[in-house]
Structure 1
Amino acid sequence: MAANSLTYQYKTAPVHIKLIVLNALIFIFVRLTGFFFNIDLFTITSWFVLPDSFSEFILQPWAFISYAFIHYDFFHILFNMLWLYWFGNFVLNLFDSKRFLTIYLVGAIAGGLLYVLSYNLFPVFEGKNAYLLGASGAVTAIMVFIATYTPNTAFRIFTFTIKLWQIAAFLFVMDLVRLPASGNEGGLLAHIGGGVFGYFYAQQLAKGNDIGAWFTNFMDWISDLFTPRKKKPFKKVHRTQTTQQKTKRSTTSETKTDNQRKVDAILDKISKSGYESLTKAEKDFLFKAGKE
């Protein structure tokens, strides 16, 4: 019964909670495998971390995503998952799970690409062999995306009121400042790559351009491969529509248009004054609209 309950809770959990659970399970599995079989971390994860050498990563292209699910130690995964939970809540207040996954996974890819390009183009990294692991590039993409899309969303820490853009800007600048002498150049490059993607994605989305649509479509295609096709029930086809059907369709179309206008007005309000400025009714309406 307990196992069934946990399975049900996982299936019905928000996508960022599922990602946190998945990351935690992988971390525990890797650690226990290493302990019981006396194997070091790299030996276990070598086919999943992202190498900097072209001759290596070309043989494991999946590593551009899989590296984001491997973590070095407890504090590495702890802080990544805390940031993912916190900023993930803001994103999922406005967008659905598919959009969230697109930001997260393409953010990981962007972070991996900047890391690989930097280690192969810039002389400062010559002779340094490195491997990239950790979800921080993907998490940074989530953080910068929502801070760009709703920059004035504010919340209180103790007696201070802070806006999302201020947190994102501070952390992003800190990564740039620490890059020359951090000892973790690869990880910081992944942060920067994910953050740059999150920024441009939010900027373009606000203009009506979904630059992540290709990846969302790709995920749908993958999902369809593993989803059994159901036989379509036989439908009767009528040559003409009755007046009642036309009226019903027209009413539904008008309702959708009105709902979209209301959603747009609420999103404008969030952009100007932050999510906390919404009334309870507006929050409820936005939540229901996202479900639909």
Structure 2
Amino acid sequence: MAAPNLAYQFKMANVLVKLIVINVAVFLIINLGSFFFSVSPQFLTRWFVLSDSFDTILIHPWSLITYGFIHFGFLHILFNMIWLYWFGQFVLNLFTGKRLITVYMLGALFGGLLFVLAYNLFPVFAERRGFLIGASGAVTAIMVFIAAYAPNTEVRFFTFNIKLWHIALFLFLFDLVRIPTSGNAGGMMAHVGGALFGYVYAVQLAKGNDIGKWFENFMDWIANLFKPRKKKPFTKVHRTTQPTSKRSKTKGEKSDHQRKVDAILDKIGKSGYESLTKEEKDFLFKAGKED
């Protein structure tokens, strides 16, 4: 009964928990597989890590995304999942799980693209060959996205409060200064690529431009491919007698609901999430569930 119970719990978990579980599951499969079959993790993942070669990417285009779920070292996945869980909760407080996935996936994509471009354009990488793994670029995208969208949100750090944008800026600058000396310059470039995407996405979204909508539509299309088609039963159609005034009232109620959500989001952008009253937090939470 344990396996079905775990499957049910996974199904009922939110998107953030599912992302972490998938990353951990892939990590265990890779490490246990390499142990039992006496092969290197690189051998098991050679089709899914991101190469610095354009030719290899043309053969394995999915690697621009799949590398973001692969980790070899325990500390590597540990810190990535801690940051993912911490910043991901702020995203879910304001947005749907679908948007969290969008930022994660596209953050990995743009982080990977900058990694590949750096290895092929910058002379400093001319004598190096490498591959990219890890969720760092995707996690950095989530971190910068929420820090740019709600910069004044404050979190408690020991005895004082600190704003999200201060944390994100410190971590981003820390990555930048480590590029020449870390020995993992390619990985740092992926962080930068994810951060740039997260920032642009947040700024455009605040202006009303959802540049990630196309990816959400693409995910919906993929999901619909695996949904069984139900045969529609024959039904007799009757002319509706619903008064026009009732329909108009429903539309008015929806617009009032959306105006209240927008007002709360504006308040978060100006004063931070902690400035909300309990009633506003409850209303925003229920609104997110309805979406």
1:247 to 245, 248, 262: 245
For residue 58 of structure 1, give the secondary structure of its aligned residue in structure 2. Answer: helix
The superposition leaves residues 15-66 of structure 1 with CA deviations (integer Å, 9 ceiling, x where unpaired) of 0100101110110111011111111121111111000011212110000011
Question: How far off is 1:237 after superposition?
Answer: 4.2
**TM-score, normalised by the number of residues in structure 2:** 0.97
Q: Is 1:40 matched up with 2:40? A: yes
For residue 155 of structure 1, give the secondary structure of its aligned residue in structure 2. Answer: strand
Q: Which residues of 2 match residues 186-225 of structure 1 at below 5 A?
A: 186-225=186-225
The superposition leaves residues 100-135 of structure 1 with CA deviations (integer Å, 9 ceiling, x where unpaired) of 111100100000000001100111100201000000
Partner of 2:153: 153
AA aligned to 2:195 is: G
Query: 1:254 & 1:157 partners in 2: Cα distance?
Result: 43
Structure 1 gaps of 5+ residues are none
Query: 1:233 & 1:282 partners in 2: Cα distance?
Result: 43
Q: Is 1:80 matched up with 2:42? A: no
User: Do 2:96 and 2:288's aligned partners in 1 also have CA atoms closer than 8 Å?
Assistant: yes
User: Do 2:151 and 2:272's aligned partners in 1 also have CA atoms closer than 8 Å?
Assistant: yes
Query: 1:97 & 1:21 partners in 2: Cα distance?
Result: 15
Question: How far off is 1:234 after superposition?
Answer: 4.1
AA aligned to 2:130 is: A
Q: Which runs of 4+ in 1 moved over 6 A?
A: none
Partner of 1:261: 259
User: Do 2:31 and 2:72's aligned partners in 1 also have CA atoms closer than 8 Å?
Assistant: no
AA aligned to 1:290 is: G
The superposition leaves residues 140-173 of structure 1 with CA deviations (integer Å, 9 ceiling, x where unpaired) of 0110000000000001111121110000000111
Query: 1:180 & 1:238 partners in 2: Cα distance?
Result: 72
Q: Which residues of 2 match residues 1-292 of structure 1 at below 5 A?
A: 1-238=1-238, 241-242=240-241, 244-292=242-290
Structure 2 gaps of 5+ residues are none
Q: Say which is worse superposed, 105-114 or 271-280, in terms of deviation.
A: 271-280
For residue 162 of structure 1, give the secondary structure of its aligned residue in structure 2. Answer: strand
For residue 228 of structure 2, give the secondary structure of its aligned residue in structure 1. Answer: coil
For residue 156 of structure 1, give the secondary structure of its aligned residue in structure 2. Answer: strand
User: Do 2:50 and 2:64's aligned partners in 1 also have CA atoms closer than 8 Å?
Assistant: yes
For residue 252 of structure 1, give the secondary structure of its aligned residue in structure 2. Answer: helix
Classify 1:276/1:233 alpha carbon distance in 2 versus 1 (closer, same or farther; 3 Å). Answer: farther
Identity of aligned residues (%): 66
Aligned residues: 290
Question: How far off is 1:233 after superposition?
Answer: 4.2
Question: How far off is 1:291 after superposition?
Answer: 1.5
The superposition leaves residues 210-232 of structure 1 with CA deviations (integer Å, 9 ceiling, x where unpaired) of 10111111111111111112233
Query: 2:244 & 2:11 partners in 1: Cα distance?
Result: 39
Classify 1:165/1:28 alpha carbon distance in 2 versus 1 (closer, same or farther; 3 Å). Answer: same
The superposition leaves residues 180-229 of structure 1 with CA deviations (integer Å, 9 ceiling, x where unpaired) of 11100111111000010000000000000010111111111111111112
AA aligned to 1:252 is: T
CA root-mean-square deviation: 1.2
Classify 1:272/1:245 alpha carbon distance in 2 versus 1 (closer, same or farther; 3 Å). Answer: same
AA aligned to 2:250 is: T
AA aligned to 1:222 is: I
